[in-house]
Amino acid sequence: MPTHGWRISPTHALVAAALCWAGFGVIVWAVEAGRTAAVDSAGLLLWRRGAELTPAGPPWVLEGVRDMTALGGVLLRNLFAMGAIVALLFLRLRREAVLLAATIGGGWIVNSLVKLTVGRPRPMIVPHLTEAGGQSFPSGHSFNAAVVYIAMALAFAAMSPRRSVRWTLVASALLLTLMIAFSRVWLGVHFPSDVVAGWLGGAGWAFLASALLHRPAKAVAEQADAALEGMTPGDVQQKGPADPGEAS
């Protein structure tokens, strides 16, 4: 079975989180101050053509973008997350499983609170090419996809002693979540500032949680290990058949 190995340095994780959240804060200020209107409009119109603002490229491009955005949707994202948690438990990496679950749950709460605080409506500049509801800022697909896939990469990177493997996992998660984020702009359901803020916030939370929630996750995992050991059945003594010579 894999053993607990590498984990991202808490200092490095906190620095990455601070940079991401600083960028997030700048975008929140810019949105509230109305300084992103020109960039947001240009970003939405960049992919559209003609008077009807249809998407650029052949039909298979649209299908590919929809497939990409589905990876950040509630169903697939949570299926991958649950599968990862179960896999970590089967591998007896309970600390990583607890940390992944706590990171995802906390990220959902943080994203929901920010959406309620900002309360930005969705763009109506171009036709929407997929269904989308709720508030626009930050992008929930971008935020939660970054949380889930980056946290998964950090969890499974603990299994490898090779730096190249760990960097490949984390870099792949970063690239995938960026593609998911910008698919939302291409489909017309988010402003560019929504998805950039969502990605920065989600990545920032994933790195922050890896630094701050590691010890609590380790404590919970150790308690679970102790509880499981306490539930191990002891030797059961079976009584043999009665000796016919014994007095009844």
Q: Which pTM was predicted?
A: 0.85
Mean local confidence (pLDDT), 24-33: 93
Distance CA 241, CA 230 (A): 31
Measured from the Cβ of residue 80, the count of other Cβ atoms closer than 10 Å reads 15
As given in the structure block, the two tokens for residue 215 are 């010890």
Helices and strands (H and E) in the chain: how many: 9, 2
Tell me the mean pLDDT in the region 240-244.
48
Tell me which residue has tokens 């490095």: 12
**Polymer length of the chain:** 248
Per-residue DSSP letters for 137-151? SS-HHHHHHHHHHHH
Check residue 247 and give its pLDDT. 42
Q: Rounded distance, CA 9 to CA 46, Å?
A: 40
Averaged pLDDT for residues 148-174: 90
Give the separation between CA 173 and CA 149, rounded to whole angstroms.
6
Whether pLDDT at 120 is above 90:
no
Percent of the chain with pLDDT over 70: 89
Give tens-digit pLDDT for 67-92.
Answer: 999 999 999 999 999 999 999 989 88
C-alpha to C-alpha distance for 149 and 33, rounded to whole angstroms? 32
Answer whether residue 248 shows pLDDT above 80. no
- Cα separation, 228 vs 233, in Å, equals 10
